[in-house]
Amino acid sequence: MTFNGKYNGGRQAPLEPDHSPSGNPAERRQSRWATVLAVLQRLLYLLVTVAVGWAVYYFFLARLARGPEQAWVFLPVWLILAYALLPRIHKILSSLYIPDYFIGRARTGDGVLGDPVNLAVVGTGEELRRAMRTAGWVEADPITPGTAWRTLTSTVLGRSYPEAPVSALYVFGNRQDLAFQREIDGNPRKRHHVRFWKCPDGWMLPGGLSVDFVGAGTYDRSVGLSLFTFQITHKIADRTDEERDFIIETLRIAKAVQSVHVIRNYSSGYHHRNGGGDSIRTDGHLPIIDLYEPGRPDAGSAG
């Protein structure tokens, strides 16, 4: 056995690692400026957050001091807290303690960990869209002022809206590319739904398997307030594995999938909460759905 080191009193001394800065001077200057700008951006964001918090506090106390007839102030204060202040606070904190790489969880727009990634797909976007529609799933509308208003009125009045948009969750830094759902008994408060994200070119799952999409399937059981921001949101059922298996079963029954391979213990099974504060649990297995159509040269390949 050989050891590359300095001879020191009959013993091998390890070589000191080279900790000198890498790259040329221009690259180091550019890196420093990028760091400075990132710090300034976070400071500005923090200052705006503090200013909004102070405004809410002052407005709230000033109004309540005028008497109980000012109880209406709770509504604007709740709106500012839920949709401005608390999301900003979560975004600051999550940028500090949540890793900025794939860990098998989606993220909310505030950076908080969301639903578990519990599906993967081998196939093109059109194949995925065709398979889900064949299996009876409806593609969700994009979020616009019109669809948001229709979602609100449908939820309040109990009117069916099978194409109701789903909130944005993020994987690879991007919001979902495709989303599908199945409304329950014409009730917009309850639905099966799943989001899919296109994987970056060359990206592989932990372990080296290549897939085209990853997905997160959950079941909306009701409408309520987020535990973290107090925003109005759908509340999901905690047994996310049941929804994952339901999605796969609908595809199998419709003969819209060629094969399914399950990576067992892809992640540790865990109990946790999603971005809305709902309890979630999973066994950690990851099914890979192969949608390649028969007759294609790469049919049946999952990696």
Q: Quick check: is 3 in a domain? A: no
Question: Among candidates 196, 178, 176, 181, which has minimal Cα distance to 135?
Answer: 181
Residue-wise pLDDT for 133-191, tens only, equals 999 999 999 989 998 888 888 887 878 888 988 989 999 999 999 999 998 888 777 88
CA distance 147 to 153: 10
Answer whether 103's CB lies under 8 Å from 96's CB. Answer: no
CA distance 71 to 93: 32
More confident position, 117 or 82: 117
Which pLDDT score, from 0 to 100, does residue 189 have? 78
**Residue that terminates a domain, selected from 63, 97, 131:** 97
Tell me: do 42 and 60 sit in the same domain: yes
73 and 180 both lie in a single domain:
no
Q: What is the dihedral of CA 159, 161, 165, 167, to 10 degrees?
A: 40
Flag whether 17 is in a domain. Answer: no
Select from 97, 121, 156 the last residue of a domain.
97
**Single residue among 69, 97, 125 that ends a domain in this structure:** 97
For residue 64, the enclosing domain spans 27-97
* Residue 118, pLDDT above cutoff 90: yes
Residues 6+ apart with CB under 8 A from 243: 118, 192, 194, 217, 218, 219, 237
Cβ(108)–Cβ(169) below 8 Å = yes
Q: Is residue 18 part of a domain?
A: no
Tell whether pTM > 0.85.
Answer: no
Which pair of tokens denotes residue 62? 């000033």
199 domain residue, yes or no: yes
The number of folded domains in the chain is: 2
What tens digit of pLDDT does each residue of 179-210 get? 999 988 887 778 899 999 999 999 998 778 89
Residue at 254 is within a domain: yes
Cα–Cα distances in Å, from 273 out to 23, 128, 178, 299? 42, 28, 23, 38
123 and 51, same structural domain?
no
pLDDT at 179: 96
Q: What is d(CA 107, CA 236) in angstroms, rounded to the nearest whole number?
A: 15
Q: Is 122 within 8 Å of 212 (Cβ atoms)? A: yes
Q: Which residue has the higher pLDDT, 295 or 164?
A: 164
